[in-house]
Chain A
Amino acid sequence: MSEHKIQRRMTIRNLLQREKAFLIFILLMVAFPFVLGTITGTGINHGVTKFWQGQLIVFFVMAVVAMSYDLLIGYCGILSFGHAAFFGAGAYTTALLFTHWAPSFSTKYRIFIPGGGDITGILIFAFVILMAVLASVLVGLLFSATSVRLKGAYFAMLTLALAEALHILAKASDFIKWTGADEGLHGVPVPAWINPTQFRPRFYFIALVFLFVSYLFIRRFTNSPAGKVIIGTRENEERVRMIGYNPVTYRTLTFVVSAIFAGLAGAMFSMWNMSATHSMTSTVITVNALIMVILGGMGTLVGGIVGAGLLQAFSHFFYDWFGPRWPLMFGLIFIISVLFFPYGIVGTWRLKRLQIKEGWARLIALLAVKKE
């Protein structure tokens, strides 16, 4: 919603100034395991400290999913219901390669650096991640190719269909040997050094760095010359075209960047769970991304992080309070937030204005029976 005033010199100081809230958040997250570990006396790799790190890992990964979705919907104005396809492509590629390719490769070949050190494991890891990114970028390119011809709701429906096709593929019994079909892939042999059960704090910090780097990259991307054209495309496609930009090119770029991060998040998620299941390609992923972005504030990037945190917290506490019916309560909160803070939490914060009166008006309009 609000574009920053352009600052000419990007000194470290004004970078720190502008990203203060985010940096404080990261520092808190860095301190978290140590503080909680000390308070509870469990140490950082045991008990509740370990459990809460697990919750936060999911939050970090989902925050990246939300940001990648915000890039599409909030910055480029593209309504896509197929985000699960990017995430799922990353997740499945990772799990499939670790299960079916990496073990046989590493028994057949070993790669050494000149000094004699064995780097096979690192190379396999890098290759798997690269392939996961590549797979979701391919899906992204497929989406952007269809966006040339279809617009708005029609495009959204097609992305929904494409993502659903991937979902069906993941469940298909034809590939049961590879994907485990309905069961999914479990006990994926991820590299031992990243094993989330054994090395919880390590995985925690990798996920935190992943969130940190993703945020900085996407933030810079949205502030770059290319990013500004993407925002322009959202605002007024005809005018962008008339001043010499091809909107198709910039939409494609947005899809690629969005798919890269959603795919990486998928890879992280599958390593975290040491599995890939069809739920990772289901529309629930897309709906969650949509909810996180709307709740946090579209086109703000940090909104996605806030939304992901809230959704994660709600899903945890609401389950305790309301049992399996918790989504119902959450849905209610979501409706209220859309009515009263249409710009999301971050957007409303920036506007410094609650829409209480407008909110009631919207609620009444929603409930009122139209008289003919």
Chain B
Amino acid sequence: MTKNIILRAENLRKAFGGLIAVDDVSIEVQQKTMHAIIGPNGAGKTTLFNLLSGTMPPTKGKVYYKDNEITSLPPHQRAHLGIGRSFQITNIFPNLTVLENVRLAAQALGGDNFRFLSHVGTFGDYIDKAMAVLAQVGLAGQENVYARSLAHGEKRKLELGIMLACDPELLLFDEPTAGMSSEQVPELIEIIKKVVNRKERTAILVEHRMDMVMNISDFITVMSQGNVIAEGTPQEIANNQLVQKAYLGDFYGELL
């Protein structure tokens, strides 16, 4: 892998009719780092994630994962390469139990998916894996609750659990704390810090909460109106005039 770049996007563009949501974006993500993407509402962060995870084809540009081009690979094949994604708008299996939500994900890459005459109960490994993930995200004890009846904060944890159960090498977090009250946020941040475990995994984190990004990321890309307007270490970003104008202004304004 060249220079330990696990994911590289080249001149990505996504247009929705006349609206250009992502405009000529190139990013490089270093292996085993926490790479944050920040930017105001509508900057194109989720759209960029859709292009990276394969949910949408780009209008132009290329995506490379470990030096292999994956631009036109469908999402399920990217999952098999080790790319996992969580969603900004909770995207779970509402009428399945919490355990089954995560067990289904744990089973996905295990090679038993076409066993159609054995009971799932005989595949204990996936259940154990799911239980471990649930403990990790703080949902232990809720295994048999239907996902639809969880509180919002718990749904966000389940959202992460589903991604984690696939054991991805590269984790794409799209605003994991979206819609959570500020008392609930620190717990989730701790969970993310723990699971990303920098020696093992790489994470790309889209976040609105600046304080969080500044504290836990190694590298930050700032987007605005579909463009990358700055990138650098948290320190560099904090000192960047352009960023302060486009985004951080509010944040420091709030702090003062």
**Which single residue of chain A is at the shortest CB-CB distance from B130?**
A6
CB of B22 within 8 Å of the partner chain:
no
CB of B239 within 8 Å of the partner chain:
no
Picked from B95, B108, B120, B123, the residue with its CB within 8 Å of the CB of A243 is B108
Q: Are B91 and A3 in contact (CB under 8 A)?
A: no
Q: Are A244 and B166 in contact (CB under 8 A)?
A: yes
Q: Are A244 and B80 in contact (CB under 8 A)?
A: yes
**Which single residue of chain A is at the shortest CB-CB distance from B102?**
A243
A246 CA / B113 CA spacing, docked (Å): 11
**Contacts A9-B121, A242-B53: A228 and B76 contacting too (C-beta < 8 A)?**
no
**Contacts A242-B53, A244-B166: A235 and B97 contacting too (C-beta < 8 A)?**
no
Q: Are B91 and A236 in contact (CB under 8 A)?
A: yes
**Contacts A5-B144, A238-B91, A239-B162: A244 and B117 contacting too (C-beta < 8 A)?**
no
- How large, as a class, is the contact surface on chain A? 20 to 34
Which of A105-113, A192-200, A218-226 is near enough to bind chain B?
Answer: A218-226
Which B residues between 26 and 42 are near A, CB-CB below 8 angstroms? none
| B165-187 near A? 1/0 per residue, CB < 8 Å | 11000000000000000000000
CB of B220 within 8 Å of the partner chain:
no
Q: Which residues of B contact A246 (CB under 8 A)?
A: 74, 76
**Contacts A10-B119, A243-B166: A226 and B113 contacting too (C-beta < 8 A)?**
yes
Residues of B in contact (CB 8 Å), total 44
Picked from B95, B117, B124, the residue with its CB within 8 Å of the CB of A8 is B124
Picked from A8, A9, A229, A238, the residue with its CB within 8 Å of the CB of B104 is A229
Q: Which residues of A contact B119 (CB under 8 A)?
A: 10, 220, 223-224
**Contacts A3-B100, A6-B99, A244-B79: A226 and B116 contacting too (C-beta < 8 A)?**
yes
Most interface-central of B112, B120, B121 (chain A CB within 10 A): B120
Picked from A10, A235, A236, A244, the residue with its CB within 8 Å of the CB of B109 is A244
CB of A7 within 8 Å of the partner chain:
yes
Closest Cβ of chain B to A243, distance in Å, is 4
CB of B55 within 8 Å of the partner chain:
yes
**Which single residue of chain A is at the shortest CB-CB distance from B93?**
A235
Q: Which residues of B contact A221 (CB under 8 A)?
A: 116-117
Q: Are B100 and A6 in contact (CB under 8 A)?
A: yes
Q: Are B100 and A224 in contact (CB under 8 A)?
A: no
Closest Cβ of chain B to A152, distance in Å, is 19
A228 CA / B87 CA spacing, docked (Å): 22
CB of A137 within 8 Å of the partner chain:
no
**Contacts A3-B100, A232-B104: A224 and B75 contacting too (C-beta < 8 A)?**
no
**Contacts A241-B75, A245-B76: A227 and B96 contacting too (C-beta < 8 A)?**
no
Could you write out 28 A-B pairs with CB less than 8 Å apart?
A1-B95, A3-B96, A6-B103, A8-B122, A8-B124, A8-B127, A220-B118, A221-B117, A224-B117, A226-B114, A227-B116, A232-B104, A235-B94, A238-B55, A239-B91, A239-B162, A241-B75, A242-B75, A242-B79, A242-B91, A243-B76, A243-B84, A243-B163, A244-B80, A246-B74, A246-B76, A253-B114, A253-B116
B residues near A (Cβ < 8 Å) are: 53, 55, 74-76, 79-80, 84-85, 87, 91-97, 99-100, 103-105, 107-109, 112-124, 127, 144, 162-163, 165-166
8 closest A-B pairs by beta carbon, nearest first, are: A244-B79, A244-B108, A235-B93, A226-B116, A243-B105, A224-B116, A243-B108, A241-B75
A residues near B (Cβ < 8 Å) are: 1, 3, 5-10, 217, 220-221, 223-229, 231-232, 235-236, 238-246, 253, 257
